């Protein structure tokens, strides 16, 4: 399956007022964050996409990529060319899943880590709403086979157990990192908390 075409020109999204700090350029956020994380040079985003029936989108990395065949949420590096951090989130979500972000809901996690190459990265993971066809409860995912080979929708319990039922098949979910699993479970927790308010 070929990667998704470029996003439609002029597509727009909204964001919660609590995310206004991320409606800035990569350079501006790096300037703000570097006094707190002195070696920080790179920013990344992750998108937690939930279906109406409370399943989260997981994608499996390609066998020739780093962390082969491990599972994660869509996301990746912010580019200096991204209009804002939130535009970087929307771009990465589109490139990795073919889904158009309609709204950035909330920040779920903010983590700093070192890459294998020794670069310090801050990854911000956001809950994101996407365009859903009216005839479908779940959006149709289009993967770039150079990056990801499979997608599925998982419940909180399935993510916690690391096993997802897909028809008659039980798929073992080995996350890229334990932190990725924590972020996903935090996303489910925050959704529940919002409903209880």
CA distance 91 to 78: 9
- The domains of the chain are located at 14-196
What pLDDT score does 79 carry? 94
pTM: 0.94
pLDDT (tens place) for every residue of the chain, 197 residues total: 555 566 677 779 999 999 999 999 999 999 999 999 989 999 999 999 999 999 999 999 999 999 999 999 999 999 999 999 999 999 999 999 999 999 999 999 999 999 888 899 999 999 999 998 776 678 999 999 999 999 999 999 999 999 999 999 999 999 999 999 999 999 999 999 998 87
What pLDDT score does 172 carry? 98
> Which residues sit opposite 120 in a β-bridge?
40, 114
Which fold is adopted by the domain 14-196?
Nucleoside Triphosphate Pyrophosphohydrolase (3.90.79)
Number of H helices, E strands in the chain: 4, 10
| Pair of tokens at residue 43 | 């920013």
What pLDDT score does 4 carry? 56
CA atoms in the 13 A half-sphere facing the CB of 141: 23
CA distance 96 to 130: 13
CA distance 128 to 50: 8
What pLDDT score does 58 carry? 99
């Amino acid at each position: 399956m070929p990667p998704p075409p470029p996003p439609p020109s002029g597509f727009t999204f909204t964001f919660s007022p609590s995310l206004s700090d991320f409606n800035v350029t990569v350079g501006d956020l790096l300037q703000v964050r570097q006094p707190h994380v002195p070696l920080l040079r790179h920013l990344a985003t992750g998108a937690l996409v939930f279906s109406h029936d409370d399943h989260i989108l997981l994608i499996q990395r390609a066998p020739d990529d780093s962390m082969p065949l491990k599972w994660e949420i869509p996301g990746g590096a912010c580019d200096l060319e991204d209009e804002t951090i939130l535009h970087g989130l929307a771009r990465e979500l589109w490139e990795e899943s073919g889904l158009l972000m309609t709204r950035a809901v909330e920040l779920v996690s903010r983590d700093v880590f070192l890459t294998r190459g020794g670069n310090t990265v801050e990854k911000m993971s956001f809950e994101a709403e996407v365009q859903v066809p009216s005839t479908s409860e779940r959006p149709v995912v289009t993967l770039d086979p150079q990056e990801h080979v499979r997608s599925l929708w998982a419940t909180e319990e399935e993510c916690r157990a690391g096993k997802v039922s897909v028809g008659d098949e039980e798929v073992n979910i080995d996350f890229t990192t334990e932190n990725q699993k924590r972020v996903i479970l935090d996303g489910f927790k925050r959704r529940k908390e919002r409903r209880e308010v």
